[in-house]
Amino acid sequence: MDKLHATKIFESLASGIRLDVFRLLVKHAPTGLVAGEIASLLELPPNNLSFHLKAMTHAGLINVTQEGRYQRYRAQLTLMQALIDYLTAECCSADPESCFEPNKASSCCDAV
Amino acid sequence: MDKLHATKIFESLASGIRLDVFRLLVKHAPTGLVAGEIASLLELPPNNLSFHLKAMTHAGLINVTQEGRYQRYRAQLTLMQALIDYLTAECCSADPESCFEPNKASSCCDAV
DNA sequence: TCAACTATACAACAATATTTGAAATATTGA
DNA sequence: TCAATATTTCAAATATTGTTGTATAGTTGA
C-alpha cells in the first residue's frame, strides 16, 4: 500500500454512488452482482454506473469476471486491512506509552 | 455514521495532502501538532494547509483545541471503527454461510 | 499601543470529476 | 445471419475541488 493507491481507494469511496455500490457488493459478498443488477437496484443509468465501476475496479476496490454477456462484480474486502494498516502506520510513535493496542482489523468474507 | 458523513471522511482522505496530514497526526497521537508544525513538516503554505485542516475538522477526522495563539490538531482515531462498521454493514447477508468472521477492528490510541 | 507572529477567510483562477446522450462492442438465442 | 440484450466508450456540458495571493482576525510580549 502506497500513498497513491490509498488516495485512489479513498477517492473511490468519496462518492455517494460508489459508496452505495461498494456496500451493496459487500452485502452480496462473496457472490457479487452483475452490472445490470447493480444498476437496477440503485436506479442508475448504465453508462454512469459503468463509469464508477471502472474507477472502483481500477482502484482495486472491486473486481470483475465475465459471465457470458454479463460482467460480475465483487467487493475486494481484503484490501481494507492493508488500508487501515497504512493509515495507522507508526501510530503514536511519538508517545508510545499512551498507545495501548496495536492496530488490528479483520475483514469480513475474505472470499474472492 | 450515515452516508453523508462517510463520504465526507473518505473525501478528506482522498487527497494526498490531507492523507499526509492525517498520518502525521496519527504518528503524533495523542499529543497532536500545532498548525505551524504541520505546515513546516509537510512544507505547505499555511493558507493551503488551513484549507485542508478545515475540511478534515469538519469531517470529524481531526479535532482542534486552542493554545494561546496556536491551534493544536489531533487525529480522531475512534472514528475509524465506526467507518469500517458502516462499510461492512450487512456483510454477506445474501450468503451468510460463506462469511466466517464478523467485521471487527480496533483502533490504535483511542485517546482524545 | 505597537510590531511580530499564527492562523484563517475570501476571491479568482486552474484543474479535475461527474453526468448525459449517442454510438460502439460483444454475447446470446431465434 | 439478424435482432435483442448487456455493457462500455467517447465527447461535450456541467459541477466540484484545489491552489494561490491578498486581506483579515486574534495573540503575545515589549
Q: Do B30 and A98 touch (CB under 8 A)?
A: yes
Distance CA A76, CA A2 (A): 17
Name the residue among B4, B29, B108 with its Cβ closest to that of A101: B108
In the prediction, which pLDDT does A81 show? 83
| A13 to chain B: closest CA residue | B10
Residues A18-30 have pLDDT tens digits of: 999 999 999 999 9
In the prediction, which pLDDT does B22 show? 97
pLDDT-derived band at B50 (thresholds 50, 70, 90) equals: very high
**Would you state the cell numbers that stand for residue A23, as one nine-digit string?**
456496500
Distance CA A52, CA A110 (A): 23
Instruction: State the nucleotide closest to B57 in CA–C1' terms.
Output: C8
What are the counts of helices (DSSP H) followed by strands (DSSP E) for chain B? 5, 4
Distance CA A8, CA A61 (A): 9
In the prediction, which pLDDT does B52 show? 98
Tell me what percent of the residues of chain B surpass a pLDDT of 90: 71
For chain A, the straight-line distance linking the first and the last C-alpha, in angstroms and rounded, comes to 19
The continuous run of DSSP H or E covering B34 comes out as strand B33-34
User: Does pLDDT of A102 surpass 70?
Assistant: no
Which residues have CB under 7 A from strand D?
A 34-36, 39, 46-47, 49-51, 53-54, 64, 69-71; B 11, 14-15, 17, 45, 47-48, 51-52, 55, 66, 68-69
Distance CA B62, CA B74 (A): 5
In the prediction, which pLDDT does B105 show? 44
User: Does pLDDT of A104 surpass 50?
Assistant: no
In the prediction, which pLDDT does B112 show? 36
Name the residue among B16, B101, B108 with its Cβ closest to that of A108: B101
Strand partners, A104: B106
pLDDT-derived band at B70 (thresholds 50, 70, 90) equals: very high
Residues B6-42 have pLDDT tens digits of: 999 999 999 999 999 999 999 999 999 999 999 999 9
Q: Is A110 exposed, middle or buried (0-12, 13-18, 19+ CB in 10 A)?
A: middle
Distance CA A81, CA B84 (A): 10
Mean pLDDT for B68-73 is 96
Output the DSSP codes for A40-91. Answer: HHHT--HHHHHHHHHHHHHHTSEEEEEETTEEEEEE-TTHHHHHHHHHTTTT
Alpha-carbon dihedral of residues A10, A16, A22, A26, nearest 10 degrees? 120
- Per the structure, the residues numbered 49 to 108 in protein chain B that have their CB within 7 angstroms of any atom of strand C are 49-51, 53-54, 64, 69-71
